[in-house]
Amino acid sequence: MTHDEAVALLGAYALDAVPPEEAVLVAAHVAECPRCTAELDAHREVAGMLGDLGGEAPPELWAAIASQATVPEGASEAAEALGGLAALQMVPAGPATRRRATTWQRAAAAVVAVAAAVAIVLLGVQVSRLNDRVSTLTALARAHGLGEAVQAALLDPSAQRITLRADGGHGKVVAELVVVPAAHSFLVDSRLPPLPRTRTYQLWAVTVGPPISLGLLGSNPDVVPFIVNHHRTSITYAISVEPASGSSGPTSTPIAAGT
């Protein structure tokens, strides 16, 4: 399909009004053509407005959706064990991971004595896929409306401000967390130095079991959202440097910690 042929079809294509055999050709051209991509986005913007007919969402339909909106196998048990979503990025920990976890717990204990026991269930959630998903969405949130959400978190009376310090929690301040139970929490005021693109900072919650990933912070963190969906206060937060794809368990000693 030539550029002119594709251009002529862009309006109809945006309205889903191009037959499938032609739509495939238009899509292939658009994927290679920035001008057509820009025009199609504009057409779709109009189509989106045209299709916004308003109306109330029927409550009875939600039950059908909710029954099918399940979490990946194993993740629900993890969420239940931790009381929230923080456990969704857990993966089975083999002996090596457990050894690292033990080291980590000692490092964390230097910051604060971990008191509460949380039954942590290690489950087969695919960490890399979830981390990709969360990282993409983190970028989205950063670009849209994050400032407003951070402000709300900072003003929330139930919010905890957690200062993360280097050198096992005794060194200089490198970042601050605003933790709002069961809502969006944020890494703010990051002074973490940029990492090579092959590495990322990763945030962990440390209680009595292996550290639990709260998400990737990226190689040069600014403001990053995460969720700690529980109300326990005896948690140590720690940051480590990990491979860019993230790790199921920390592979290095924490560079910062705090509670």
Partner 1 sequence: MRIDLATASDAALVVAIGRFHQPALAETYRRHGGAVRSLAKRVAGSAFLADEVTQDVFLRLWREPEQFDASRSGLRAYLVTIAHHRAVDLVRSEASRAAREQRQGDPRATDASDVEQRAFELATAEQVRVALESLPEGERDAIEMAYFEGRTYREVATILGQPEGTVKSRIRAGLKRMHATLTTESDRVSELP
CA 167 to chain centroid:
26
CB of 176 within 8 A of CB of 183? no
The rounded distance, in Å, linking the Cα atoms of 50 and 14 is 12
**For residue 87, what is the DSSP state?**
G
Taking CB under 8 A as the rule, does residue 146 contact partner 1? yes
Site string for partner 1, 211-250 (x = CB under 8 A): --------------x-x-x---------------------
Taking CB under 8 A as the rule, does residue 115 contact partner 1? no
Nearer to partner 1 (CB atom), residue 55 or residue 196:
55
Which position has the token pair 């989106």?
Answer: 48
Q: Cβ of residue 165: shortest distance to partner 1, in angstroms?
A: 26
Taking CB under 8 A as the rule, does residue 44 contact partner 1? yes
The rounded distance, in Å, linking the Cα atoms of 9 and 124 is 47
| CA angle (112 as vertex; 185, 82 as ends), nearest 5 | 50
Binding-site size, partner 1 (CB under 8 A): 69
Taking CB under 8 A as the rule, does residue 156 contact partner 1? yes
Residues that bind partner 1 in the complex, under the rule CB under 8 A = 7-12, 14-19, 41-58, 61-62, 64-66, 68-69, 71-72, 75, 79, 85, 88, 132-134, 136-138, 140-141, 143-146, 148-149, 152-153, 155-158, 180, 183-184, 225, 227, 229
